[in-house]
């Protein structure tokens, strides 16, 4: 993996909203740095020993999660107890993804971050 460039302004903005109920949405055109920003945030969470689940939907590893119900089942199987940070990169490929996101917010103790190009 290539070295990530610090995006201090945007990273600091994520930190300001970290832990708030608000769903954090990172949008922009393709190749503008959304995934890099999410990766920087993931590295921050690792240093904090926080529990997180990161899914990049551009990876074929996750192509079976193309429906919101499958995504919900997958996340539910991964969450044990305590607070989790849910990081979803390019979530627009999941059909009706909004339904899953709202259910995560209601059903689990979580802080949600999503990116999308569309």
Least Cα distance to 75 among 95, 52, 44 occurs for 52
Of residues 113 and 16, the one with the higher pLDDT is 113
Is the pLDDT at 36 greater than 70, yes or no? yes
Cβ–Cβ under 8 Å, residues 37 and 7: yes
pLDDT in tens, 38-90: 888 999 999 999 999 999 999 999 999 999 999 999 999 999 999 999 999 99
Mean pLDDT over all residues of the chain? 88
- On the CB side of 73, how many CA atoms lie within 13 Å of its CA? 8
Is the pLDDT at 112 greater than 80, yes or no? yes
Mean pLDDT value across residues 28-41: 79
Supply the pTM of this predicted model.
0.88
- Residue 77's Cβ-count burial label (10 Å; 0-12, 13-18, 19+) is exposed
pLDDT given at position 49: 96
Which residue ranges make up each domain of the chain? 22-116
22-116 maps to which CATH number?
3.40.50.300
| Separation CA 84–CA 54 (nearest Å) | 10
| Separation CA 34–CA 116 (nearest Å) | 8
5 pLDDT tier (thresholds 50, 70, 90)? low
């Amino acid at each position: 993996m290539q070295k990530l460039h610090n995006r201090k302004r945007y990273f600091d903005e994520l930190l300001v909203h970290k832990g708030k109920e608000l769903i954090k949405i990172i949008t922009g055109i393709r190749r503008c740095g959304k995934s890099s920003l999410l990766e920087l945030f993931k590295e921050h969470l690792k240093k904090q020993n926080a529990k997180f689940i990161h899914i990049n939907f551009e990876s074929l590893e996750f192509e079976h999660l193309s429906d919101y119900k499958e995504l919900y089942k997958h996340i539910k199987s991964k969450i044990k107890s305590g607070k989790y940070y849910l990081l979803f990169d390019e979530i627009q490929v999941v059909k009706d993804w909004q339904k899953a996101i709202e259910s995560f917010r209601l059903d689990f103790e979580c802080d949600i971050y999503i990116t999308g190009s569309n």
